[in-house]
Structure 1
Amino acid sequence: MITTDPIGDWTWEIASSGDGATAAGAAETAVSIWGILAKHELAVPAGEASISVRSVNDMRNVHLDMSGLILEADPLRPGTAVSGAVEQAGTLKGDLLVSLRIRCPGIWLESGVKHRAEQLFAIQVDVWKSSLTVVTLETYSDAWLTMDTREREQAAVHAENAPRLTAALVEVSALLGSNPEPGDPNRHATPTEAGFEDPRTEGPAYSDSWGTFEIAARSRRLRSGLPPAEDEYPETTDSPVRYFAIQRETQTLGYVWASVNNDAAGYEPRTAAGDAAFKAGTQWLLLLRNAHNQGLTPLKALEWLTRVPPRPEIGSIDEDAPEESPSLDDLEDLSGRY
């Protein structure tokens, strides 16, 4: 399953000597780690970077904040967006926190088939007052676990993917000259220096952690971009659901659905599609509100959506007839897995 919050993380701390840590050094470290992930297809083009500079004594004092920087093949060569941002950060003086973050699309495997997630890993490099560099690597997939976050054993998936993560962690540690400090156990998994503990040994921390926490987190994220509404379709149902995939070019962004019992309708973001799934989803939910205001039942609303004038930026319904899922839970599972 793909999550919006990390499954686990690892941290390395590096005390600086000589001239101290710099923004340029932070960028070189982050890009080198990206290269290690890319070697194992844990990162693939094109990543996206952000950089910020804040006063250590007052984090509200932001000197620089740049996001959406495309990570090109050679991101630190002169003239690239990343190198320009790093150069600006390097001109700033004082007791500063320089933070560089790379969001890494990557590949996870199942039965030899490659599946892409738009945020499989994230790399964060923080430089504190030019004296301490803290590197954090986060992952947003449970492909490294012997049981997925819905408590299903996945020995074959683990065998295909966990060695790639372990190899990358070893190489990052060699690059940085120290072993990582695994992140704390969380509601999904327990990180170790080499990957993750086997949840089959003592059982997972929570029953169906993905269904328990991730569905609610996705709903909050979707609705944070919506204006308040007095009345709309309920977003939960116990009945089977009919749904259309929302396509944008070759990518599935999510699924708009209505219950067979005509008592609910909604949108499930395909988590692996990343930010685009949520940005499009708010617009599809607004369209469902429009249908509700017209007095359409959920199933009629689903039919009405197929006749809405196309808007390429939010994707489109390309199917002639909806698919049917035995439950909303099954559709949610599809949206979080593939």
Structure 2
Amino acid sequence: MGVPPLAPRSALAQAVAQAEALDGNFVVTIRVECPGLWLEPGFKYRAEKLFAIHLEAWGSNLLVVTLETYSDAWLTMDTRDREQPEVYASNAPRLAAALQAISALLGSAPTPGDENRHAAPSETGFKDLRGEGAAYDDSWGTFEGLNRASLLRSRIPQSEDEYEQITEYPVRYFTIQRDGRTLGFVWASVGDASAGYVPRTAAGDEAFDAGAAWLLSLREAHGQGLAPLAALDWLAKCPARPEIGLIAEDAPQEASSLDALEELSGRY
């Protein structure tokens, strides 16, 4: 049957055509971000960047293909260091089958990548680290929240005219959606001067791009002297801006803590 043709006028087809037209020594780099589904018993969740495929072709002599994953569904312990045997059982065989198919296509077994605080890659997926203990008592709380906040805030100018970004109180929040997909959550503390936006990790860069606009709106509310909960009400009454997402509820929901909302946004 041969290899299926590339979709006409697709970015990949254009890159291949440009590479084939080159003469002499050259390196061609192609990176494709892939959406996909990860499973829990009875549920399916879509991630807009479940994998990324990075390909480097060094002339006709060397081809390097790197597969990156942006989900913890293949691990025996999630990124908050909690065991997840059912999630692992539903998803790890899928990753193993994909790696086997790629190995067959390329005629070579994969070389596992470097270990990190959450995972140890192997030729068939990831090793079981449950017997080795967590590298940190709370690696999510120690690193991930700060990483996401830094990435989000890098998209807007610095300012001191804004709400505090952390709170120990419960929070009320609105879900932000675009085209039926959840991008994140805009929130306000019930007990202090804190408010912000939590991007939904599975939505990828869109969640952070939209979040930057919501943070700027919160900054505007702060400039008007509105308390956090009043700012949340003000946002709900502002003219709709579909390009940054729409508020999904008629009234705000409540989470027991900002940490609980962060966990919701990070997992689903």
The answer to whether the 8 A contact 1:105-1:119 is kept is yes
SS in 1 for 2:266: helix
Q: Which residue pairs with 1:168 in the alignment?
A: 98
Deviations along 1:82-104, one digit per CA (max 9) or x if unpaired, are 31232123323343221111111
Q: Which residue pairs with 2:125 in the alignment?
A: 195
1:105 paired with 2:35, answer: yes
Q: 1:299 aligns with which of 219, 229, 239?
A: 229
Q: Which residue pairs with 1:123 in the alignment?
A: 53
Quote how far apart the aligned CAs of 1:223 are: 1.1
Q: Distance in 1 between matches of 2:230 and 2:8?
A: 55
Q: 1:223 aligns with which of 144, 148, 153?
A: 153
Q: Distance in 1 between matches of 2:67 and 2:129?
A: 21
SS in 2 for 1:306: helix
Structure with the higher strand share, 1 or 2: 1
The count of corresponding residues between Structure 1 and Structure 2 is: 267
CA distance 1:133–1:230, change in 2 (3 Å): same
Q: Which structure 2 segments of 5+ residues have no match?
A: none
SS in 1 for 2:237: coil
Q: Distance in 2 between matches of 1:183 and 1:318?
A: 40
SS in 1 for 2:78: coil
1:84 paired with 2:14, answer: yes
1:251 paired with 2:181, answer: yes
Q: Which residue pairs with 1:324 in the alignment?
A: 254
Q: 2:23 aligns with which of 93, 96, 119?
A: 93
One-letter code aligned to 2:110: P
Q: Which structure 1 segments of 5+ residues have no match?
A: 1-27, 33-73
1:185 paired with 2:115, answer: yes
Alignment of 1:1-338 (within 5 A): 76-338=6-268
Deviations along 1:212-239, one digit per CA (max 9) or x if unpaired, are 2221121121111101213211100111
Q: Distance in 2 between matches of 1:307 and 1:226?
A: 23
SS in 2 for 1:261: coil
One-letter code aligned to 2:22: L
One-letter code aligned to 1:126: E
Larger displacement relative to structure 2 (207-216 or 228-237)? 207-216
Deviations along 1:283-318, one digit per CA (max 9) or x if unpaired, are 000000000111111111111100111111001113
CA distance 1:234–1:93, change in 2 (3 Å): farther
Quote how far apart the aligned CAs of 1:77 are: 4.1
CA distance 1:317–1:191, change in 2 (3 Å): same
Higher relative contact order (CA 8 A, sep 6+): 1
One-letter code aligned to 2:161: D
CA distance 1:232–1:86, change in 2 (3 Å): same
One-letter code aligned to 2:220: N
Q: Distance in 1 between matches of 2:223 and 2:7?
A: 53
The answer to whether the 8 A contact 2:15-2:30 is kept is no
Q: Distance in 1 between matches of 2:186 and 2:194?
A: 11
Q: Distance in 2 between matches of 1:274 and 1:110?
A: 20
